[in-house]
Structure 1
């Protein structure tokens, strides 16, 4: 496993405030290292440098893991995910589970499954939602020295459909905290609780995080935009060529899984996150008293 500095290559960690000030107009904050003693550090990159980092060939893959709920349309989608992993020749573990009756409850099982998979694996793992497919080999999670790698939008909005977790004690604490939060709060989206778990662990110890761009995803869109990007943008490195086809099946299958569940209720998601917690995440203010009661508006 390379060091973080070796992994980043030409890109450098620096004081996070200085890194933000130097962020180019097409730039991304791609990494953050929490340091309790000497001040947090970040790494920023322009788009072409980010693309080079994402596409650099590496050797040792993580174990790709996922689950699907039996007797739902997710079963067929998981078969397509498995085929894409087989096509790329990467190790994987995809299991069936019984539905708990609601989409939120089922997604809340994700953290418990990931915790078990992480504990039983002898290598890092990478979670992929069952309704996704890998379009090409995501080398950026091969030989990845960070504790966690996840798409973080706008400095606060984590997307848990693709999550890399290293085989480190810190990653294990994040996973354990996440699983406990999901058990205690089945009405809250798992990706919000992942953010909260990361924040709680990073408050007290060094955490090395890789912030992935959502450009790694291909989201549903008209075919003409795919053609435009293939012809005009990808060859000139004006956009990231996607690694993951994110079908967002939950937008159409959520009602199927929920069945006869009555509308309404106390479901809480990313759009309910409070402005103070958003600010704490964006500014790495770990003095914020983050709990399920305080992170929502």
Structure 2
């Protein structure tokens, strides 16, 4: 009932076939023995839902970490100030660098697992190289087990992830951390995708899939002005919640110390077979890590 209230007038329907054109998979309810239900929405509907502001003020704890003695320290300070400005409670910690960007991002799941276990309420991870532009109040009393951005039905983005205090969320976090320890050469967001898939094969999981319009990515200021004056009022684009600075693109070589990691595997390496299983809500097959890549 809480999920139906959150969705308002957007109905849940049986998941069948590929994604409809021009619609976004806003919600996915997994019932291992009764099939899958999906709520499809167009952009104006998603904007109305995420901007509704009709939910309580019981916000999650916003969490992040940064690697000490790197440029991420200043970025984390900026994130902290943005959360303070919006009155959002947070927990941001410094950790020692492991010497490479991939290894450091692999620490994310372990940190999230620890804080999730220690917290008495839901948490929301935000990457240290981001600022929160406006309050994401759609996360307050959010009834879903997990909320994050998912592109194309298979491309999970782990820079902004809500995890409820539910058994399903706990299983996902636990499995994500295990996979990260076992596969330090694989991007954390790919392993989060696999952890979600593995848990959903056997357990009920409810997911809120956010459009990537919740992010503002680096771009010329004229595009921001155009969106503010034209696209936002017409609901042709969503007003972003998170300013994702994508500092990793410029700082990766600094953290890696010019080390080359030829065995790195990321989202673009995910095989067509696994992509299709995700987009068609097909949970029949077991996927070891090595079999989700092309």
TM-score band, normalised by the shorter chain?
A: over 0.9
Q: In the TM superposition, what is the alpha-carbon distance from 1:10 to its structure 2 partner?
A: 1.2
Give 5+ residue unaligned stretches, structure 2: none
Q: In the TM superposition, what is the alpha-carbon distance from 1:24 to its structure 2 partner?
A: 6.1
Distance in 1 between residues matched to 2:16 and 2:282, nearest whole Å: 12
Distance in 2 between residues matched to 1:14 and 1:264, nearest whole Å: 44
Q: In the TM superposition, what is the alpha-carbon distance from 1:60 to its structure 2 partner?
A: 1.3
Asked if 1:77 is matched to 2:64, the reply is no
* SS, match of residue 35 in structure 2: coil
| Residue of structure 1 aligned with 2:101, choices 100, 103, 110 | 103
| Residue of structure 2 aligned with 1:134, choices 132, 135, 139 | 132
Distance in 1 between residues matched to 2:26 and 2:237, nearest whole Å: 16
Aligned to 2:3: 4
Aligned to 2:291: 294
The 8 Å contact of residues 62 and 126 in structure 2, kept in 1 or not, is answered as: yes
| Residue of structure 2 aligned with 1:278, choices 265, 275, 279 | 275
Give deviations 1:40-99, integer Å, cap 9, x for gaps.
Answer: 100011211110110111221100000000000000000000000000001100000000
The 8 Å contact of residues 157 and 270 in structure 1, kept in 2 or not, is answered as: yes
Asked if 1:46 is matched to 2:4, the reply is no
Distance in 2 between residues matched to 1:198 and 1:15, nearest whole Å: 20
Distance in 2 between residues matched to 1:260 and 1:153, nearest whole Å: 31
The 8 Å contact of residues 13 and 41 in structure 1, kept in 2 or not, is answered as: yes
Q: In the TM superposition, what is the alpha-carbon distance from 1:38 to its structure 2 partner?
A: 2.0
Aligned to 2:233: 235
The 8 Å contact of residues 32 and 200 in structure 2, kept in 1 or not, is answered as: no
The 8 Å contact of residues 30 and 45 in structure 1, kept in 2 or not, is answered as: yes
Q: Tell me how large the CA RMSD over aligned residues is.
A: 1.2
Distance in 2 between residues matched to 1:216 and 1:152, nearest whole Å: 11
Aligned to 2:32: 36
The 8 Å contact of residues 15 and 281 in structure 2, kept in 1 or not, is answered as: no
Distance in 2 between residues matched to 1:241 and 1:221, nearest whole Å: 15
The 8 Å contact of residues 24 and 46 in structure 1, kept in 2 or not, is answered as: no
Q: In the TM superposition, what is the alpha-carbon distance from 1:265 to its structure 2 partner?
A: 2.2
Give 5+ residue unaligned stretches, structure 1: none
| Residue of structure 2 aligned with 1:164, choices 162, 165, 190 | 162
* SS, match of residue 17 in structure 1: coil
Deviates more, 1:239-248 or 1:8-17: 8-17
Structure 1 residue ranges (4+ consecutive) displaced by more than 2 angstroms after TM superposition: none
The 8 Å contact of residues 24 and 45 in structure 1, kept in 2 or not, is answered as: no
Write out aligned runs for 1:53-202 (5 A): 53-57=49-53, 58=55, 59-202=57-200
* SS, match of residue 177 in structure 2: helix
Write out aligned runs for 1:5-20 (5 A): 5-17=4-16
Q: In the TM superposition, what is the alpha-carbon distance from 1:260 to its structure 2 partner?
A: 4.0
Distance in 1 between residues matched to 2:224 and 2:255, nearest whole Å: 30
Distance in 1 between residues matched to 2:277 and 2:58, nearest whole Å: 35
Deviates more, 1:32-41 or 1:131-140: 32-41
Write out aligned runs for 1:251-266 (5 A): 251-261=249-259, 263-266=260-263
Number of residues of Structure 1 aligned to a counterpart in Structure 2 = 292
The 8 Å contact of residues 62 and 124 in structure 1, kept in 2 or not, is answered as: yes
